[in-house]
Structure 1
Amino acid sequence: MTYAAERAARPSQELKLAEISSTGDQMLTVLETVAGQGPVSASDVARMCDINRTVAHRLLVTLAQRAYVRRSDEGYIVGPAVFSLARQTGTDLRSVAKPVMQRLAAEIGETVVLHGLDNWEAVVIDQAVGQRHLVRVEHSPGSRHPLYKGASGWSILAFQGEKAITRILKKTDDPVAALARIETTKADGCSISHDELQMGVHGIAAPLLEKNGRCEASLGVLVPSTRAHLLLSVQKPLLEAAAEIMKGLN
């Protein structure tokens, strides 16, 4: 018996049946598809969800406007709004990273900062401020900067798709030098910067790489120029902390 026939046969129970929004159901299905299969195109979503391509495109645009998905060069992937919801409901990057960051900050005595990728910018998600020194560096959560500035940005940029890197490097003063810096970051597993975002501030950052090689965040250490000579000494504990965070997420 079909659902419609069953309802006709049992009219007294009709008020007990919860009505659902077909559009809302489709949108959630699209979001789940992007989360599970991304990066995907609108055509991919239409095929996987068995919906019209125009409908798939409209749902993706709506989700993108609310930051639940974002469009990368490879296709649609989940956006920052998904992670914001995750922070309220369960295990997510920030909750996994926070204790690791606090422990690292206590160990090295310097500020540890977590950046995420949003609209091709590096955004401060959280920080653990080092308490050992009177002079220290702090960031403001929510502040953002281009990927081609600061160690945290470079460590994320180095692991983006080729098209994204090419487009972003066009904004730099010297694309050739910038590309060389990306290659160095990949080889070293981290990036180092000084005086790029704030004068007198040096930084080192490691990408938080997912199993598929994508990078949506980085973990960094910030020091004032007076302690810049100590920066390389934190590379090993920084890389270990980054690996611990990713292990906690997988």
Structure 2
Amino acid sequence: MLKTLDNALELLEYFTRETPSWGVRELAKEMDMSHSIVHRILTTFESRGFLIQNDETKKYELGTKLWEYGSIIRDNLRISDVILPVMHTLSEETGESVFLTWLDDHEGICVEIAESPQRIKYAMSSVGDRTPLYAGASNKVIMAYLPKAAQEAIIDKGLKPKTGKTVIDPEKLMEDLAAIRKAGWAYSVGEYSDATFGIALPIFNKQREIVASLTLAGPEYRMPEAKVSEVLDMMRRKRDEIEACLHKLSISSVAGRRHPIS
């Protein structure tokens, strides 16, 4: 029974932004699982509204039931009510987009965005996007505070470049993470998206576990090195406000597994 449940939950994880739809045979091949078992799981999820089958392609896609659950979580956590105004203020003060990225096991999830008021802005991420923890300031500042075993597990899964500047050498990545942790913040240019800068700060819960990051991002040309320290001071004040909000709401983890600081 538990094995069946595990298979079913693993199957759902294959429905991502990159691969939002699957046919029975291609998914069975991808999962190295029996065609009949995959078909049975898919039809069960479909009957419950977790998946739908496209009438034209006959492929399966995520259903509205999952969207309903996501809405319930957001409503219960009240993150938007207390944190988004702080992010909007920071965006207005700096003129850049602000992102809140949450830790979910070995990935980051974008849970809130305050878009830049400027015409040219960084808009490559959307709420709900999952990103690897080794690419870009918003992710690496989280990875830097994970236990070494968790960092090694991420590296062992493989480091795939998002751009030509993504650090995919394990030794260099570990050096970067150590430097980020020592500094207490992360800065990157073009690691996740070409010609885009990212400045990120870690966010901790009451137990001093790393749970998220606050990131400022925009076109590279708008963030000269001389401006970074000024912006960083503004970000620290807003980060402290966000942490205070989370502590007041007694939120320890919005997404998934928490990690104590090693």
TM-score (norm. length: structure 2): 0.60
Partner of 1:46: none
CA shift, 1:113, in A, is 0.7
| Match runs of 1:137-152 below 5 Å | 137-138=122-123, 139-152=125-138
Task: Number of aligned residue pairs: give it.
Answer: 180
Larger Rg: 1
- The one of 99, 112, 115 equivalent to 2:101 is 115
Structure holding more helix per residue? 1
Rounded to whole Å, the distance in 1 between the matches of 2:81 and 2:128 is: 16
- 1:165 matched to which residue of 2? 151
Q: Using CA pairs below 8 Å that are at least 6 residues apart, which structure has the higher relative contact order?
A: 2
> 242, 246, 249: which one pairs with 1:245?
242
Question: Does structure 1 residue 192 correspond to structure 2 residue 187?
Answer: yes
Shift in CA distance, 244/82, structure 1 to aligned 2, threshold 3 Å: farther
Match of 1:134 among 99, 119, 134: 119
Deviation at residue 192 of structure 1 after TM alignment: 0.8
1:13 matched to which residue of 2? Answer: none
Residues 202/211 of structure 1: CA separation in 2 closer, same or farther (3 Å cut) = same
Q: CA 1:241–1:61 in 2, change beyond 3 Å: closer, same or farther? A: farther
Question: Following TM superposition, by how much is the alpha carbon of 1:190 offset from its aligned partner in structure 2, in angstroms?
Answer: 1.1
2:23 paired residue number: none
- C-alpha contact 1:115 1:217 (8 A) present in aligned 2: yes
Query: Is the CA contact 2:121–2:219 (under 8 Å) kept in the aligned structure 1?
Result: yes
Point out where structure 2 has 5 or more consecutive residues left out of the alignment.
14-67, 160-167, 248-262
Residue among 88, 95, 103 paired with 2:81: 95
- Quick check: 2:91–2:98 contact (8 Å CA) kept in 1? yes
RMSD of aligned Cα (Å): 2.9
Q: Which runs of 4+ in 1 moved over 4 A?
A: 64-67, 81-84
8 A Cα contact 1:155 1:190, kept in partner: yes
TM-score of the aligned structures, taking structure 1 as reference length: 0.63
Higher mean C-alpha deviation, range 217-226 or range 169-178: 169-178
Q: What is the rounded CA distance, in whole Å, between the counterparts of 2:198 and 2:98 in structure 1?
A: 10
Q: How does 1:1-250 map to 2 (within 5 A)?
A: 85-89=72-76, 91-131=77-117, 133-138=118-123, 139-170=125-156, 171-172=158-159, 173-229=168-224, 230-250=227-247
In structure 1, runs of 5+ residues without a counterpart are 1-54, 68-80
Q: Distance in 1 between matches of 2:200 and 2:207?
A: 20
Kindly state the Cα deviation for residue 119 of structure 1 after the two structures are TM-superposed.
4.1
SS at match of 1:141: coil
> For the Cα contact (< 8 Å) 2:205–2:246, is it kept in 1?
no
